[in-house]
Amino acid sequence: MDEAPQKSPRRHRYTGRNPRSFVDKYKEHQPDNYPDDIAKIISSGKTPAGMHRPIMVAEILTALALKPGNVVVDCTLGYGGHACELLAAVQPGGRLLGVDADPIELPKTEVRLRAQGAPEASIVLRRMNFSGVAQFLAVEAADGVDALLADLGVSSMQLDDPLRGFSFKVDGPLDMRMNPGRGLSASDLLSTLDCANLRAMLIENSDEPNAERIAKAILIAHAKTPLKTTFALVSAVRSAVSGQTTGEAGLAIRRVFQSLRIAVNEEFRCLDMFLKQLPFYMKKGGRIAILTFHSGEDRRVKASFKEGFQKGLYSSITRDVVRPSALEIRSNSRSSSAKLRSAIRS
């Protein structure tokens, strides 16, 4: 007797007309099944939950000037939007080498890249922080690479998923680790800091003008009841800036989250290590493009490129940053703070 066909499981029900929770946004989690809906979200200037829209793609491709047969490195794969364009630009005969520290997103990104139909050997990916990419390239590109991209922004998939703890807009565990299996969470990091350390961190990582007042408020709240969720941290920051306008308070919250994320993932230390080794990854005439999203990153990239130019390691560097077009900012508000710098190896 034939078995009855299995029914597809019913989709989880949510309250209201449209799903608000990240886990309920079934269309965004299955974009291939709902292309018209996804296109509608993008056309409204928003980024669909769980997806990431690559920023300044045309400007990056111009800076890197890729040719078929080139070896190109994407040091921060993320969702793979830039990587898909880089891979296409070096075909036929080229290779894409890519790294990312996120064990949750990297397998999904590899599936997207493989789906482009390029030869299997033309895509080589590793899970690692970009500061250690030298070990990877020593094996896969011992003679150097033709082009390299580093997009230092946080991927939208990480910001949108409340379980990752990056967003102050949705409540979730106060984590913020790019690799959830390694290092201290943001909540645990707060337990190791005194007021002077936290104040210094807020100034260094996000130029927070109210650093001392906010540091005191956070640590007082954390001492009473450990701050374990993103909303608990938001509440502590709001208490410190209660006299400010809603907009000013929102900026303070954004800066605190940025500062903690940078500290949790040791982003500046990793970036400094990466920039120090960067010229030695490149072939003669190799091109570099780095996309930054806040002043702390941009200062480091600018200084490194300038020093490399003075030492003769770079034959050319951008004197002024390239910014997203007004059209791109209107269509994708998350691009508004992006700055692109590039260099060419001597």
Q: Are 269 and 262 within 8 A, CB to CB?
A: no
Model pLDDT, residue 193: 97
Can you tell me whether residue 293 is helix, strand or coil?
coil
- Cβ atoms of 202 and 223 within 8 Å: the answer is no
Q: What is the pLDDT of residue 30?
A: 58
pLDDT confidence of residue 163: 83
Residue (of 261, 266, 184, 253) closest to 218 by Cα position: 253
Name 71's bridge partners.
95
Q: Which pLDDT value is given to residue 28?
A: 56
Second-level CATH architecture of 179-264: Orthogonal Bundle (1.10)
Q: Are 95 and 68 in contact (CB under 8 A)?
A: no
- pLDDT, position 9: 57
Residue 122 neighbours by CB under 8 Å, 6+ apart: 87, 90, 91, 94, 95, 96
What is the C-alpha separation between 118 and 94, in angstroms, rounded?
10
Contact (Cβ atoms closer than 8 angstroms) between residue 99 and residue 125: yes
What was the pLDDT predicted at 6? 57
What is the model's pTM? Answer: 0.82
d(CA 201, CA 292): 19
Position 243 scores a pLDDT of 86
pLDDT given at position 36: 60
Topology annotation, domain 57-156+279-345: Rossmann fold (3.40.50)
The answer to whether 152 and 292 have CB atoms below 8 angstroms apart is: yes
* Block residue for tokens 């590109």: 141
Q: What are the CA-CA distances from residue 170 to residues 187, 234, 258, 274 (Å)? A: 16, 10, 15, 32
DSSP H helices, 284-338, are 295-310, 326-331
Select from 266, 297, 274 the least CA-distant residue to 137. Answer: 274
d(CA 91, CA 70): 8
**CB neighbour list of residue 239: distance below 8 Å, 6 or more residues apart:** 217, 221
Neighbours of 59 (CB within 10 A): 19
Show pLDDT as tens, one digit a residue, over the chain (346 residues): 455 555 555 655 656 555 555 555 555 555 556 556 655 655 555 555 555 689 999 999 999 999 999 999 999 998 899 999 999 999 999 999 999 998 888 999 999 999 999 999 999 999 999 999 999 999 999 999 999 999 998 876 677 778 888 888 889 999 999 888 889 999 999 999 999 999 999 999 999 999 999 999 999 999 999 999 999 999 999 999 998 898 999 999 999 999 999 999 999 999 999 999 999 999 999 999 999 999 999 999 999 999 999 999 999 999 999 999 999 999 888 899 999 999 999 9
Closest C-alpha to 266, from 184, 166, 168, 165: 184
- The domain ranges of the chain are 57-156+279-345, 179-264
- Tell me how far apart the alpha carbons of residues 178 and 270 are, in angstroms, rounded to a whole number: 13
